[in-house]
Amino acid sequence: MAPGVQGSVVIDVAAVTKSYGSGRGRVDALRGVDLTVHEGEIVAIVGQSGSGKTTLLQMLGAVDAPTSGTVEVAGNDLASMRERDLTGFRRSVVGFVFQQFNLIPTLTAYQNVEAAAVNLQGGGAPAPRIADLLAQVGLGDRMDHRPAELSGGEQQRVAIARALVNNPRIILADEPTGNLDTETGHEVLELLTGVAASGQRTLVLITHDDRVAAAAERVVTIRDGLIVDDGDAGGAPGGVRG
């Protein structure tokens, strides 16, 4: 999205806490986070290890639930949704990209993308769309290769294609360049921001890397479970309440 142009709110996190364990072993991963993200924004969440950024990202993707507070994504109040609806949400609203790619080693690049496309009836995205996506991420000639036959950058490209196959409104990327060398990481980052921008998608990514964060329109810093800075990295400002 062009700087200064704000779309509608697509992520609205309010007073979210997340605790693990109980009693003296209790760990507070998030201690009251408020965050608003607009449609089409590219937001980087930065922070040290254990600061709570991955926990926050997983809540946005409905793979974890807050201990308290509300998470509303694309108009869906995740806390009030049943498991069946959450499955549909994960399938169609968000697309995940993981630091370690999380590809299924026995499946080819094509099949790994297909895995995210299969619906409850066993069908899924048409073959041309999967092939187009793989071509779009530069793997048009590597579709039949298994992960072990692909480089780290290529594997992450497969993961990006998998995240895009259901045409989600939001891409959630957890350290997408963390396992890649600088050059490859840069290429992957360009790809991610490119597909986000071209599809008017919102991109929320977690990173340790300042150069990656610099590519975002907005950088949110999280420390000890709290957002301590919500700055503008050259893009549009976001709404910060906490």
Partner 1 sequence: MFFIRYALAEIRRRPGRTVLTALGLAVGVALVVVVNAVSSGIDRAQQEVLQPLTGVGTDMTVARPLNTSGEGADPFTGLSAEERERLREEARRGLGLDLRSFAPGQRIDTEGFVAASQLSFPQSRVASIAREPGVETTAGSLTLDAVRVEGTVPQSGIAGARGPGGSIQFDRRSVTGVDVTTPDLGELTADQVTSGRYFDPARPRARDAVLSTAYANANNLSVGATVSLGGTDFSVIGISAAPLGGTPSDAYVPLQALQQVADYPDKVTKVLVRVTSVDEVDPVAARIEEGFPGSEVTTASDLAATVGGSLDDAQAISKTLGTILIIVGLVAAVLIATLLTLSSVSKRTRELGTLKSVGWSPSQLVRQVSGEATVQGLIGGIVGALVGAAIAFALNAADWTLEATVQSQAATTPGRGGGPFGLGAPTEVSEAIAISTDPSIAVAVLAVVLAVAGGLVAGAIGGLRAARLRPASALRSSD
- Residues near partner 1 (CB under 8 A) are 55, 58, 61, 63-64, 83-84, 87-88, 90-92, 95-96, 98, 102, 104-107, 111, 114-116, 118, 120, 122, 124, 162-163, 166
- What angle do helix axes 109-117 and 127-136 make, rounded to 10 degrees? 120
Give 18 or 218: the residue with its C-beta nearer to partner 1: 18
- Smallest distance from the beta carbon of 162 to partner 1, in angstroms? 7
Q: How far apart are CA 122 and CA 150, in angstroms?
A: 27
Q: Are 168 and 92 in contact (CB under 8 A)?
A: yes
Give 83 or 141: the residue with its C-beta nearer to partner 1: 83
- Smallest distance from the beta carbon of 83 to partner 1, in angstroms? 7
Locate the DSSP E strands across the chain. Answer: 9-20, 27-38, 42-46, 68-73, 76-77, 94-97, 170-174, 202-207, 218-223, 226-232
Q: How far apart are CA 69 and CA 177, in angstroms?
A: 30
- Smallest distance from the beta carbon of 147 to partner 1, in angstroms? 11
3-class state of residue 115 by DSSP: helix
Distance of CA 68 to the CA centre of its chain: 22
- Smallest distance from the beta carbon of 80 to partner 1, in angstroms? 18
Give 87 or 182: the residue with its C-beta nearer to partner 1: 87
Q: Are 236 and 1 in contact (CB under 8 A)?
A: yes
Give 96 or 201: the residue with its C-beta nearer to partner 1: 96
Give 38 or 53: the residue with its C-beta nearer to partner 1: 53
C-alpha distances in Å from residue 170, one per residue of 29, 74, 105, 115, 192: 23, 9, 26, 19, 12
- Smallest distance from the beta carbon of 217 to partner 1, in angstroms? 25
Locate the DSSP E strands across 58-201. Answer: 68-73, 76-77, 94-97, 170-174
Give 47 or 235: the residue with its C-beta nearer to partner 1: 47
Q: How far apart are CA 2 and CA 125, in angstroms?
A: 30
- Smallest distance from the beta carbon of 174 to partner 1, in angstroms? 9
